[in-house]
Structures are given as structure tokens and as C-alpha cells.
């Protein structure tokens, strides 16, 4: 027996009644709060609609703001995907024109390869982040 707690030595934290309640049970005065951005958008819409203190104009405004946030996220992903496609089209068109004629478009693109690589990496990160978020929470 442990003299301090009065429990057997083989007792673990999982044996206690508040086990699995998160960090709040370990650290006094510490609370975990979630931001509104990490919450389910459909639940957020329901909260706005059910709030009796808001007027209908305020509810309409808050619903538009919440919808616009997700629309902007989707728009940014599509613009980035379009940038990747445009870069690919320029490289392929340059290769075809170089193959048919006597130009040096691909050689010029090779000189700018670092810049193209960095911009495409950023575009890919934006698209990947958007698809990652929507796969975890399809409603966004």
C-alpha cells in the first residue's frame, strides 16, 4: 500500500474515477478551450439559428460570414490548383514548341526551375491542406 494515497502500489491513473478526462484532471486551473474555427460548421450554424438573443438580420449576417469563410478556403484551393495546372501547361507547351521548332523555351524554364519549384510547392501545400481539412471534416 502507498502511504500517501492509500492505494495499492500497482494502481494506475486509469483506476481513478476521473481517468480519461484530459489535461483538466491533471493540472489545476488549466482548461482546454476550443476556438470557434475548430468546431463543426454545421453545429455552428445550428447555434446561430437557435440563439434567441439575435435578431433575424444578425442571424443572416452571422450565417453569411460563416459560409464565406469556407467559400474563401475553397476558392484559395482552386486558385492554387489552377496555378499548378498553368505551370504544367506552360512547361508542356514549351516542350512541344521546342520539339517542333528551333526555340529555347525549355532552357529558359530550366533557369527559373527554383522559382517554379518553390511556387508549386506552396500551391501544393495549400491544396493539400484544404483536402486534408475536408477529409477530416467534410462539412467544411
Question: How far apart (Å, rounded) are the C-alpha atoms in residues 108 and 119?
Answer: 17
Q: Which of 52, 54, 39 is nearest to 139 (CA)?
A: 39
Answer yes or no: is 77 within a domain. Answer: yes
The pLDDT assigned to 84 comes to: 94
The SS3 of residue 19 is: coil
Place of cell 526551375: 113
The pLDDT assigned to 125 comes to 93
Q: How many domains does the chain have?
A: 1
Q: Which pLDDT belongs to residue 24?
A: 45
Task: Examine residue 6 and state whether it is found in any structural domain, yes or no.
Answer: no
Asked, for residue 95, whether it belongs to a domain, the answer is yes
Residue 70 lies in a domain: yes
Per the domain annotation, does 48 fall within a domain? yes
Domain presence at residue 5: no
Query: Residue 109's domain spans which residues?
Result: 13-136
The span from the CA of 82 to the CA of 27, in Å, is 48
Q: Mean pLDDT, 10 residues at a time, over the chain (140 residues)?
A: 54 52 51 58 76 85 78 86 93 87 83 89 91 67
Residue 82: per-residue pLDDT: 94
What pLDDT was estimated at residue 64?
A: 84
1 domain-assigned: no
Q: Is residue 104 part of a domain?
A: yes
Amino acid at each position: 500500500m502507498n502511504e500517501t494515497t492509500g492505494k495499492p502500489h500497482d494502481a494506475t491513473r486509469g483506476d481513478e474515477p476521473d481517468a480519461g478526462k484530459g489535461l483538466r484532471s491533471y493540472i489545476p486551473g488549466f482548461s482546454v478551450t476550443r476556438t470557434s474555427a475548430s468546431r463543426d460548421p454545421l453545429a455552428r450554424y445550428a447555434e446561430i439559428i437557435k440563439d434567441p438573443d439575435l435578431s433575424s438580420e444578425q442571424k443572416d449576417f452571422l450565417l453569411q460570414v460563416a459560409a464565406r469563410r469556407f467559400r474563401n478556403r475553397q476558392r484559395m484551393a482552386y486558385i492554387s490548383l489552377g496555378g499548378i495546372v498553368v505551370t504544367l501547361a506552360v512547361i508542356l507547351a514549351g516542350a512541344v514548341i521546342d520539339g517542333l521548332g528551333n526555340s529555347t523555351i525549355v532552357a529558359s524554364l530550366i533557369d527559373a526551375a527554383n522559382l517554379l519549384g518553390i511556387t508549386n510547392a506552396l500551391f501544393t501545400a495549400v491544396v493539400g491542406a484544404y483536402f486534408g481539412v475536408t477529409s477530416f471534416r467534410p462539412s467544411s
